[in-house]
Structure 1
């Protein structure tokens, strides 16, 4: 089954992004409970590169396909799941990377849309929270994608968010999107 070509984020309004997000048809992985079959011999590197048996998966369509059957288990493990099998997959940080951002509006009226390395589109807001984690090597910003799966925001996107937050007139640094304020100080 061929996958649809990816739309250009810059050419879309955030209303169009929201519509496309609503239209996404993902497999119902949360309803599939097959027996655990072992290890997939796959890994998702911190930079979002997918590997199988140590070699990068070079076909973006394959990565997109695998990303649709990715699930996070209650114990925090990541698995690839189908109706008949469940295989572990190693994730170094977050399974996705937000690589592009679109901003519309200002302050409380601002809306943020993100494109992930898999081509998925996600709008930050009540169902897709932004969070900021402080580590020894600096801040790590994340966007909730679905079902406990997150995207690490690429460093340039974090700098864009920080610039927007510094321009705001808020008591604490943070960013508004779709009516929700996301504080940027690490929790």
Structure 2
């Protein structure tokens, strides 16, 4: 369990990373945003790498957990895709600053944390791809290239945090209903 102070450091860093990007934020910037001395941060956290790893692993683990749950459910492939979209929306709404960092700054991770995040992302995409292929095989989904379907859905979901913030944060239930409809049924 993270200390409250460590969690506060991570939350403030997440906001700053989203606003400025990982490289443009220093430990001094984080300390200033918290109104404490930079040296005090090191009582709770080893540095920016630990902050970045904690942020990214937290959200990547949430995606992994939910995808594993959906993959193992006894649902049709189409229903699983709907659930993946809904879960992605929930995670994006609840972790918008983490999502920004995951999308924009993951490549700044180092060592085992980088390998872990890449593996989790690859596994997530492979699970999603398998669901799509199963849907095509069962005739629930038009026989289109699974990579195009995967890219179309994920590229939309991965940028949702930007769009939703710009539009004034739509109601999550409206997002789920309408995005599932548009991403699965198209606009015709």
- Say whether the fold is shared (TM-score over 0.5): no
Structure (1/2) with the larger strand percentage: 1
Structure with greater Cα Rg: 2
Higher relative contact order (CA 8 A, sep 6+): 2
